[in-house]
Structure 1
Amino acid sequence: MLSAVMTSPYFVHTRSVTNQRRNLMTSSSLGSKLTCKMRNPVPVPCEDVKEEETEIKLSSHDTTHGSSQQAAMHPQPEASPQRAHSRRRRQLKVEYDADDGASSVKTERRQPPDWKKQFELIREMRKGRDAPVDNMGAEKCYDSDAPAHVRRFQVLVSLMLSSQTRDQVTAAAMQKLRAHGCNAENIVATDDETLGKLIYPVGFWRSKVKYLKLTSATLQTDFGGDIPDSVEGLVRLPGVGPKMAHLAMDIAWDRVSGIGVDTHVHRISNRLGWLRKPSKNPEETRKALEEWLPRELWSEINWLLVGFGQQVCLPVNPLCSLCLNQHSCPSAFKSSPAKRPKSGSPPQSLSPASSFKTKTEPGPDDERIKREASHAATSPASRTRKTKSKVS
């Protein structure tokens, strides 16, 4: 009788309802417990929270869909990979946008405020092209009828001789070398004494004899008597610096690789304030000028400022009163006082280019000649000659 009552549909239905109420009470108690814990946060181990969340999910699935219990036991791990994938894509997109923005923005270099006007005025003062560099520079010292590799070699030799030497002395030495045979083979075959007589009196002529022999031997063995076609190759040669290398690339190879900065370009760039801070040597000046000067002016600035430095912006006592940039140059009249015209004479005109022929730069050879002359005048031999002349 008892078994019949327990197996009747009424008792079966009542037992299922009771189980569902018990599950609902369990889930509600767990939900209230979690709600209380959220309101009063207490550190709970992560594993306990995950187990409670799993029980809630299972009980909810049991109350709604009895058949979905197996699916709840095997959750689909799709949410976390999707979130990681979406987060990774966002990072790539940000990096791509940042790269595009960096490539599109062009950083502007600092340029001197009045450099264009000053440059044009120097062109005005140099329009006569009558400075020593215009007639006796490296562009005028090679034999135009010689083969191409010999012409390039002669350009390099003239640049090596021009260091610490006036253009007039360099041109005279190159004329004697060309008559002797200015190519790598002949220079190597010439003894040091003969070569020294040919290039004398260029500055540091003894050292330049050694450099010419070593460079000529290197060019003959490694380059077939020609000169390297790169700045890196040129500066490896004995006695060749960055200024000579850039000028050789421009004159010999017709390639603008950089600005040839000598003592004139170095001095004038600092005087005009074309550098962010005063430079200590020509190499620092070259790097500072190349940061902002347009590349199409790199070839012109050398001969332009060299001739300007030979005629107007002299190293000692510059002719600021004749310079068209005297009102914008920060160094005007600081190195030398303004030259005042004599009373009764009309003021000098600033525009004609012929007015810049009045004075050229005193070179080191002039001072050396003066010292040798004064030494000769005070030597015992000169005194003996003077005594003999008086007796006679």
Structure 2
Amino acid sequence: MSRESKSSKRERACEICRRMGELYPDAESALSFRDPFELVICVLLSAQTTDAAVNRVTPELFRRWPDPQSMAAADPEEVGEVIRTIGFWRAKSRHCVEAAQMIVSDFGGEVPGTMEELCQLPGVGRKTANIVLNKAFGVVDGIAVDTHVYRLATRFGLTRAKTPLDAEKDLLDIIPRELWGPVNEEWIHFGRDVCTARAPKCVGCPMADICPSAGRPDRYTKRKQ
């Protein structure tokens, strides 16, 4: 098979984004949050954990520590007791407290609004920062590449990157900037509804005609068999 040109890949990427927009015109985050601080904590907690699991622990978490000031003074062990039903809760409880402490000490108690500053917070990487910038500040500075976006980008043949961080670089290179904003939420929905890790529904998939992986097992499905 001949190698796809960059222009052709860009056209496919744009068409994928167009179809995603038609499928999910009102895609919203499944995480429940009320302000930028809660969003930071929710996304931090969501790593390798379902949004539903996060939503089950955050009402009590934010009842006890509703803002950076109160969480900065919290005992990580007490925070851990509240969130212990989610994955990696020990590290996440520590990151919650440390991130709150930095928000208070370095940013005047307000969640910072730049990629560089957000990535300074313990437990916060580009994925989390992209989501916070987009959802809390209306700033689109990249594409949040989580497991769903990474899987879809690979299956769509838009990246061969070995890590989500490198996959984001590939996506930013071929998807026009004006289309970056809704990619994360729309692709997450599609990854949950259609292009799942265990059993992608290739038959009848609205992307099948422009997806090089349609109907073919890949590293995601193979490792589940």
TM-score > 0.5, shorter chain as reference: yes
Q: Which residue of 1 aligns with 2:184?
A: 302
Q: Which residue of 2 aligns with 1:270?
A: 154
Alignment of structure 1 residues 123-162 onto 2, 5 Å: 123-127=21-25, 129=27, 134=28, 136-137=30-31, 141-143=32-34, 151-162=35-46
Q: Which residue of 2 aligns with 1:253?
A: 137
Q: Which residue of 1 aligns with 2:79?
A: 195
Distance 1:184 1:224, change over 3 A: same
Q: Which residue of 2 aligns with 1:321?
A: 203
What secondary structure does 1:320 align onto? coil
Say what the alpha-carbon RMSD is for the aligned residues: 1.9
Offset of 1:199 from its aligned partner? 1.7
Please point out which of 335, 339, 343 is paired with 2:217.
335
Q: Which residue of 1 aligns with 2:12?
A: 114
Q: Which residue of 2 aligns with 1:206?
A: 90
Q: Does 2:181 correspond to 1:290? A: no
Alpha-carbon distance in 1 for matches of 2:140, 2:14: 21
Offset of 1:220 from its aligned partner? 1.1
Deviations 1:281-330 (A, max 9, x none): 11111111111211111111110101111111111111112411223311
Offset of 1:135 from its aligned partner? 5.8
Alpha-carbon distance in 2 for matches of 1:284, 1:329: 21
Q: Which residue of 2 aligns with 1:175?
A: 59
Which fold has the larger relative contact order, with Cα–Cα distance below 8 Å and residues 6 or more apart in sequence?
2
1:153 touches 1:225 (CA, 8 Å); kept in 2? Answer: no
Bigger mean CA offset, 280-289 vs 178-187? 178-187
Distance 1:167 1:228, change over 3 A: same
TM-score by length of 2: 0.86
Structure 1 unpaired stretches of 5+: 1-108, 144-150, 337-392
Alpha-carbon distance in 1 for matches of 2:26, 2:143: 23
AA at the equivalent of 1:248? V
1:312 touches 1:322 (CA, 8 Å); kept in 2? Answer: no
Give the structure with higher Rg (CA): 1
Alpha-carbon distance in 1 for matches of 2:142, 2:8: 18
Distance 1:322 1:128, change over 3 A: farther
2:17 touches 2:179 (CA, 8 Å); kept in 1? Answer: no
Distance 1:223 1:124, change over 3 A: same
2:49 touches 2:87 (CA, 8 Å); kept in 1? Answer: yes
Q: Does 2:138 correspond to 1:244? A: no
Distance 1:111 1:243, change over 3 A: farther
Distance 1:322 1:190, change over 3 A: farther
Alpha-carbon distance in 1 for matches of 2:91, 2:157: 35
Q: Which residue of 1 aligns with 2:161?
A: 279
Distance 1:253 1:119, change over 3 A: closer
Offset of 1:118 from its aligned partner? 2.9
What secondary structure does 2:137 align onto? coil
Q: Does 2:83 correspond to 1:185? A: no
TM-score by length of 1: 0.51
Alpha-carbon distance in 2 for matches of 1:199, 1:286: 29
1:264 touches 1:305 (CA, 8 Å); kept in 2? Answer: yes
Alpha-carbon distance in 1 for matches of 2:214, 2:177: 28
Alpha-carbon distance in 2 for matches of 1:335, 1:173: 36
1:111 touches 1:292 (CA, 8 Å); kept in 2? Answer: no
Distance 1:128 1:235, change over 3 A: closer
Alpha-carbon distance in 1 for matches of 2:171, 2:138: 20
Q: Which residue of 2 aligns with 1:311?
A: 193
Distance 1:257 1:274, change over 3 A: same
Offset of 1:192 from its aligned partner? 2.4
Q: Which has the higher helix share?
A: 1
2:29 touches 2:185 (CA, 8 Å); kept in 1? Answer: no
What secondary structure does 2:52 align onto? helix
